[in-house]
Structure 1
Amino acid sequence: MLQNFFKVAFRNLVRHVGFSFINIAGLTLGLTACLLIGLFVWDEHQYDKNIPDGSQIYRLYNTYTNNDGTDDRAVVPPMFTTTLQHDFPEIEQTAKVLMLPENKVLFEANNRKLYEVSGYYADSSFLDVFALPFKWGSAADALDDPASIVLSEEMAQRFFGNTNPVGKQILMDKTPMLVKGVFKKDLKFHLQFNYLAPMAAAGIPAERMQSWGWQQFYSYAKLKKGVDVDALEKKFQAIVLAKTKAFNPDDRGSNLAHLQPLGKIHLYSANFKFDAAQRGNITYVNALSLIAIFILLIACFNFINLATAKSLQRAKEVGVRKTIGADRKQLMLQFVGETVLLTFISVVISIILAVTVLPWLNDFTGKHISTILFVQPVTIVLFITLTLLVGIGAGFYPALVLSHFKPIKVLKGSFTGDEQPGKIPWLRHGLVITQFALTVLLIISAIIVYKQVDYLHNTDLGFNKDQILFFPMRGDDMFKNYETFKNELQQSPGIASVSIGYGFPGDAVAGDDIIVDRNGEHKSQSATQLMVDFDYIKTLGLEVVAGRDFSKNMQTDKDHAFIINETAVKQLGFGSPEKALGQKLWWKVWGAKNPDSLKEGQVIGVVKDFHYKSLYDRVETAVLQIFPDAYWKVAVKMKAANIGNTIGYIKNVWSKYSPEYPIEYKFLDDNFEQMYKAEDKLRSLLMIFTCIAIFVGCLGLFGLAAYTAERRKKEVGIRKVLGATTQGLVMLLSKDFIKLVVISLVIASPVAYYFMQRWLQDFAYRVSIGWSVFAIAAIVAISIAFITVSFQAIKAAIANPVKSLRTE
């Protein structure tokens, strides 16, 4: 019997080729989108799953709150791990790694010179907390010697080929290091690095490691089994609050320490500041999961609408089957079997499409998802389950409708398909409303995401980022003779300006306190410190709104002058830019032999606020000052003509001052482009899946339009005989569907507004959701619906009325 069911099902699919193609196309697109999204979501949840005892490992992070707001910071002071290790018996082991600015380190071995950007200085206990598998050597004592280093398998192969490098020497920025081990890189570890050097090799003074204020470390704690994490966190928070306040009593902010489970670092740290982890975003993962469910539901609803639209054409088949003895159970099994067969075909095609598209998905998302997943036993069982669930779920209602037909009415020709007027149309209409509400939700979301991403890329940042090339200085000669190096660069006719400093937009910046006079008392205020030279403002094109720029002609500017931004004027209590001029500021000098050494100066200028960080972050108090000891990056503003020749000139000048180091440069605007890669990908994915949802959703309308045209063909014939025009008939058959789309717009719009407003809250600077967004979505949705429905309406309107009325 089962063989006969599938034989009949196959014949039906072949007999109604157009109907079968539309159904298979809709299901295939929906399932392919679901498979690809499912693979992405599954992969996002695999981070840190392979770390032994991962459930006992927690990352320390800090929530800092002041008048500017609240920030979660992935970096913490060095005393966090020291205190946990010494004072808390619940802790089995702690480890920390030093956060470094994004700066490539030159490695040399076997006559090869290559820069590496991904590496850390780490405690020797790091390899105890995270038991990374080693290919050569051993993790035990690998980081005890200050002159030791461990390499990733990938990095070892670049320098030493396939030979065992343990015991061999490699130069790290000219410093000899002994290779103690080679670890296998785990692509699903939240920290990605190619080398680890001992913390002792970083040369940090011992007193600096006793700091409660220097937040520069990614720190971890491995807890003993059975520890109450909440109780431990509360005890530790109390200590941190007391110690940080005692360390810096002038700081008006507060620090709240937290323990973050290892398994949540990747997906639940999207808004953390100063985080080098491989970060995903649980909001985006959940959104994509919902989109997958939406598209699958839309595809299933399509099948229901298309199948019921065809019910009149199969009514006589049902009547004959019932007359010769088929019961309702057999008929339902027959029709559900057809759906399962159709779903099976769709699943097979969708798997083929998913395997074909997977390399693009990997390239687009930077992942390494393997096609081997498709042949795993668990995956095969999942595909079979998916086929049955979708097939039975989508086919049950049409089977129920078709098997319910009365044979006497069908065979006498009096069957209309609506034995219970009102109920079946309401259900079909509800399905279409749901379909289009989901589709409209995606359309509105896509429009808002597109506008926000466009705003991120094109908003005025307060400085000119075009044609600025920048690179780190290297080699003693360049650092000692940076002014001569800068002057020689400026000799090129293709170079407009050169600036050397620390703290260029889109690059590393330093946070430190600035001291201000408040009613005769010195008070500290957190600020971003930008260590600049005399050409910084000119090179970036900053706007001075009050006062003046730094000048070489003013001898006091080097040691006793500050320039602040507009936000600093407000936060420091100066009232207005003009009133800020001449105000006294003090700053604790970095690296001074006397730790209490203060630089005293006055505000000589105020610059318009500019975005030195991404638009996720608010513009904060920024202080610009001349401080050559911190100079390490060079920014070159080039003229538009002959950029290639200008870059060649820069390379030639570089080779005079740093011949042993290859130059590594990038453009400032590229830095800002990289900041919004996740949003760019979200925009592209939303556009793709919205188009799929629109296409699949249109099939549902097509199905309902076909059903209506079939049901009302005699009415249309009579109206044509009585003189109705084609245009009038098209409007008659289309208006009900437009009403459904309008209802879906009313339902979807507030839902989309709520969720997109929440998404926009992640950005300190964002677009507003105006009425135009919903107007555009309405126009798009109604236009798509009308075009889809009008195809069937026109077809019915131009049909020969004689054919539809000849049976009367």
Structure 2
Amino acid sequence: MNVLYHFHMTIRTLRHNLRPTLLLLISMSVGLVTFILVSGYVSYEQQYDRIFPDAENIYRITTDLYSDGKLQISIPECERDMGSSLKKTYPEVTEAGFLAQASNPQYKIGENIFKDTKVYFASPGLLNIFSFQLLQGDRSQVLTAPYTVLLSESTARKYFGDENPVGKTIVKYPVFEYRVVGVYKDIPKQAHFHPNMLLSFHNQMHLPPPMKAPWGETDFYTYLKVHPGTDLQALEQKMNQLAMAHKKDYFEKNNQLHVYHLQPLKDIHLHSHLKHELQTNARADYLYILLIISLLIVLAVGLNYIHFSFTRALNHASSTGLKKVFGANRRTLIAQSLTDSLVIHVIATAVAFLLCMLLLPFLQKQFGITLDFSLHNRLFWFGLGSILLLSIIINGVVPGYLIGRFRSLDLFHLKYKPLMPGISFRQLFVVGQFAIVMVIIIGIIGINKQVNYLKEKNKGFNLENTIAIKVPQNFRRTSQSINNLDAFEQDLLQNPNISGITQSNRTPGETAAFNFSFAKKGTEHSGKAAVLVAGVHYLKLFDIKLLAGNDFEPHAENVDEGCIINQSCLNFLGYKNSQEAVGRVLKLTDESALQNIELKIRGVCSDFNFQNIREHPGPMILFDWTKNMIWGNYFVKLKQANIASVIPFIRKKFQATFPNYPFEYLVLNDFYNQQFYKEYQLIRMLQAFVLVAILISAINLFAMAWFIAIARTKEIGIRKVNGAKVSEVMTLLNKDFIKWVAIAFVIATPIAWFTMNKWLENFAYKTNLSWWIFALAGILAIGIALLTVSWQSWKAATRNPVEALRYE
């Protein structure tokens, strides 16, 4: 009965206080929408790779590559036989399997020519580790024979429709025919890799010898499934001992060392950012930033609720005093307050979910995020339920406790006092909310400033007005699949809008190959370098400075005519000046030890950030092996920025030269700047957050100014009768809010400064946190406060003083 009475009183109270109730519902709904969307996004990202059975016992092998005792690079790959050897040797390893990237990602089915970069060589063990569900094919036989392929369900449907693809042929450019032996169910979205096709890997296949070497190149993404409770440190030691047994001579001869680690499968998506990742992973630190800010917004909403409830209780203190006279105790008042809180939260949560459903398509398109509100997402529902329960209890208990402290007789003359000695609750509310707003504003400006700084920073080379044309890789220029390559190059150069062309095996923004160690001939001092095939005019086309020696020469006959090293490589070799290195001989050895090359240093160029502007450039070696081969990329420099005008011409020439190859081009500036995608995504989300925080703060300020104006009505009337101007009254009502915002600025500045400095530590090149960033955030916050409060202040200041004096 008491419960029904409390609900009846809650509905009655909310109806009689419709305006503040609506403001409170808007504030709570907006805050809950933010938390629901962010927590849904964060929980979705945290569930990556947990969808695989026994995921907690699956690990990926990563490799740290050392030269001269110094870490050169960390990669998520290892040698091909590492996994299978571990399974054969150590019983705690129950299964092993690998993936390896397939080169030349061009395929043909019938007359359909297409490109697919999500095609990998795979071992049969991979299917068992990740519990691939075969829809067609014999699980014990697939991927065991050479030149066979498994298709994902969506790929099979895309290219074969309802026809059974098993037994069909897929041509891998240019002439390798793969027979379809099965179809597997698509891997769920919440996985760190999504292969469309899996190719068999067999020693009888035509593959590069270094790749087929059992303990050769570290090109294989290798996964292990281990027994529960396995001592992982001990297993890592065994891995390193196993590698040393097979590669000791290579390590000692080249002064190299590989150190292997086991990376939990569940950590890959959020915590792994190694070179050569299978796909771009999320950043856990960015997710935590979003989650913390959403919790701060929920806190701001809670402060709003407490302030609203307590102020409303003060305005109706006499009725509360009457209840206490008739026997209501503090427990009864808290129970009523809890009921109010429950009803408000239920309504706000229902409205919030409705808004989320309406906003979901827009958010997924705008921010590129996926959310999961399904019942099996226990993490999301547990987090949301905990926050709601905590909010209901705190927001219900605190106002009831505060009003319950007063004695019955005191409540009859208790009123809302706009000015209180010491620190009042409303001061804390305003300070806390605007500190949150300013921290978010400073964060947005700081992150945006850093990203723009990196984009505009001199990368060491010029990508403006340059496009990459994708062509076959590792093909001889005289291949029968290519029609008159010389004519193709000459025709491009004759176009009046094209100023130059060159070749390379990598596109700026991609990770260069690190499969060679290098050393100065006659010394043991060796290191790992990024190696890059660079054609004639490469340095000129990208405006890379030649510091000493000569560039590559056109029409040279010898493919081993020498190499060009960058400044970092020069420093690593210990030369004091660039000219001193010219003519010296470098030894290059690949990890399979099958390729041992000696090249003269013909030139030294300046450093350039080929892959990642976040890091300092490392040693890089360029050599021109384009005299007899093509390497996957033609770079075309345009005289004007109008790329669209020249694409039809290039496409026509391309199709005549590569008749069975799909035409594809990249705008290099856009492709290179994709590395900032996560930062752009974070900025867009923070911009939405600051709008939400401003809205919630504005609602609170609006209501607070309204209550204060009502409470000081008589005072304002007296002041106006005595000659006070409207501007003086508005200043009187506004000055406290400005003071509170100033205090919030003092609190927010060191917090934002510390947070931004910690974030900037992730970058080798970082912008300065200029004073104007903090000043701008403070000015914006004061502007928001003035705009919100001044409306109520103006209404109170322009009110007829006669009406004001009749107020009490």
TM-score (norm 1): 0.90
Structure-2 residue corresponding to 1:344: 346
2:229 to 206, 226, 248: 226
Task: Write the distance in 2 (CA, Å) between the matches of 1:387 and 1:86.
Answer: 52
Contact 2:462 2:543 in 1 (8 A): yes
2:600 match: secondary structure:
strand
Deviation track 1:244-295 (CA, whole Å, cap 9, x = no partner) reads: 56423365664321111111111111x2111114522211222222122111
Q: Which moved more, 1:185-194 or 1:768-777?
A: 768-777
Contact 1:507 1:671 in 2 (8 A): no
Task: Write the distance in 2 (CA, Å) between the matches of 1:268 and 1:755.
Answer: 19
1:451 lines up with 2:449 in the alignment: yes
Change (3 A) 1:325 1:222: closer
Deviation of the 1:33 alpha carbon: 0.7
Q: Which moved more, 1:296-305 or 1:429-438?
A: 429-438
Task: Write the distance in 1 (CA, Å) between the matches of 2:65 and 2:98.
Answer: 20
Deviation of the 1:69 alpha carbon: 5.7
Letter in 2 for 1:774: F
Change (3 A) 1:546 1:52: same
Contact 2:482 2:657 in 1 (8 A): no
Change (3 A) 1:471 1:17: same
Contact 1:303 1:700 in 2 (8 A): no
Q: Describe how 1:693-712 pairs up with structure 2 within 5 A.
A: 693-712=693-712
1:85 to 80, 84, 87: 87
Deviation track 1:601-624 (CA, whole Å, cap 9, x = no partner) reads: 1333x3332221122332111222
Contact 1:58 1:262 in 2 (8 A): yes
Task: Write the distance in 1 (CA, Å) between the matches of 2:610 and 2:291.
Answer: 34
Change (3 A) 1:636 1:419: closer
Q: Which moved more, 1:336-345 or 1:359-368?
A: 359-368
Q: Which moved more, 1:323-332 or 1:252-261?
A: 323-332
2:261 to 258, 261, 265: 258
Contact 1:586 1:599 in 2 (8 A): yes
Task: Write the distance in 2 (CA, Å) between the matches of 1:248 and 1:530.
Answer: 23
Contact 1:108 1:172 in 2 (8 A): no
Deviation of the 1:59 alpha carbon: 0.4
Q: Describe how 1:648-727 pairs up with structure 2 within 5 A.
A: 648-727=648-727
Deviation track 1:179-224 (CA, whole Å, cap 9, x = no partner) reads: 1111111222221110101112763466754465622111111112
What count of residue pairs does the alignment treat as equivalent?
A: 796
1:623 lines up with 2:621 in the alignment: yes
Q: Which moved more, 1:197-206 or 1:73-82?
A: 197-206
1:527 match: secondary structure:
strand
Structure-2 residue corresponding to 1:313: 315
Q: Describe how 1:401-800 pairs up with structure 2 within 5 A.
A: 401-411=402-412, 414-417=413-416, 422=421, 425-474=423-472, 476-477=479-480, 481-513=484-516, 515-517=518-520, 521=523, 523-552=525-554, 559-580=560-581, 582-588=582-588, 595=594, 597-604=596-603, 606-628=604-626, 629=629, 631-640=631-640, 643-800=643-800
Deviation of the 1:98 alpha carbon: 1.1
Contact 2:418 2:712 in 1 (8 A): no
Deviation of the 1:153 alpha carbon: 0.4
Deviation track 1:429-481 (CA, whole Å, cap 9, x = no partner) reads: 23333322222222221221111222233333232223322233237346685
Letter in 1 for 2:464: D
TM-score (norm 2): 0.90
Letter in 1 for 2:14: L
Deviation of the 1:345 alpha carbon: 1.7
Q: Which moved more, 1:352-361 or 1:143-152?
A: 352-361
Change (3 A) 1:472 1:806: closer
Structure-1 residue corresponding to 2:18: 17
Task: Write the distance in 1 (CA, Å) between the matches of 2:426 and 2:65.
Answer: 53
Deviation of the 1:647 alpha carbon: 1.6
1:496 match: secondary structure:
strand
1:504 match: secondary structure:
coil
Contact 1:453 1:683 in 2 (8 A): no
Q: CA RMSD in A?
A: 3.3
Letter in 2 for 1:34: F
Deviation of the 1:45 alpha carbon: 1.7
2:271 match: secondary structure:
coil
Contact 2:461 2:608 in 1 (8 A): yes
Task: Write the distance in 2 (CA, Å) between the matches of 1:317 and 1:138.
Answer: 79
Change (3 A) 1:783 1:70: farther
Q: Which moved more, 1:786-795 or 1:525-534?
A: 786-795
Contact 1:266 1:277 in 2 (8 A): no
1:119 lines up with 2:122 in the alignment: no
Contact 1:585 1:603 in 2 (8 A): no
Contact 1:315 1:405 in 2 (8 A): no
Task: Write the distance in 1 (CA, Å) between the matches of 2:130 and 2:805.
Answer: 80
Deviation of the 1:123 alpha carbon: 1.4
Task: Write the distance in 2 (CA, Å) between the matches of 1:221 and 1:284.
Answer: 29
Gaps of 5+ in 2: none
Deviation of the 1:380 alpha carbon: 8.1
Task: Write the distance in 2 (CA, Å) between the matches of 1:377 and 1:76.
Answer: 35
Contact 1:347 1:383 in 2 (8 A): no
Letter in 2 for 1:451: K
Structure-1 residue corresponding to 2:134: 134
Task: Write the distance in 2 (CA, Å) between the matches of 1:163 and 1:291.
Answer: 51
Contact 1:310 1:707 in 2 (8 A): no
1:125 match: secondary structure:
helix
Structure-2 residue corresponding to 1:150: 150
Contact 1:171 1:177 in 2 (8 A): yes
1:493 match: secondary structure:
coil
Letter in 1 for 2:467: L
Contact 1:478 1:485 in 2 (8 A): no
2:269 match: secondary structure:
coil
Gaps of 5+ in 1: none
1:690 match: secondary structure:
helix
Contact 2:275 2:511 in 1 (8 A): no
Deviation of the 1:39 alpha carbon: 1.1
Q: Describe how 1:37-436 pairs up with structure 2 within 5 A.
A: 37-65=38-66, 71-100=73-102, 104-109=105-110, 111-173=111-173, 174-186=175-187, 187-200=189-202, 203-204=206-207, 208-210=211-213, 214-240=217-243, 246-249=249-252, 254-269=257-272, 271-277=273-279, 279-323=281-325, 326-364=328-366, 366=368, 369=371, 373=374, 387-411=388-412, 414-417=413-416, 422=421, 425-436=423-434
Change (3 A) 1:229 1:577: same
Task: Write the distance in 2 (CA, Å) between the matches of 1:480 and 1:86.
Answer: 49
Q: Which moved more, 1:22-31 or 1:77-86?
A: 77-86
Task: Write the distance in 2 (CA, Å) between the matches of 1:4 and 1:579.
Answer: 93
Task: Write the distance in 2 (CA, Å) between the matches of 1:632 and 1:769.
Answer: 42
Identity of aligned residues (%): 28
Change (3 A) 1:245 1:18: farther
Contact 1:448 1:756 in 2 (8 A): yes
Deviation track 1:707-753 (CA, whole Å, cap 9, x = no partner) reads: 44444444444444444433333333333333332333333322222
Change (3 A) 1:596 1:221: closer
Contact 2:106 2:113 in 1 (8 A): no
Task: Write the distance in 1 (CA, Å) between the matches of 2:138 and 2:215.
Answer: 33
Contact 2:113 2:660 in 1 (8 A): no
Letter in 1 for 2:56: S
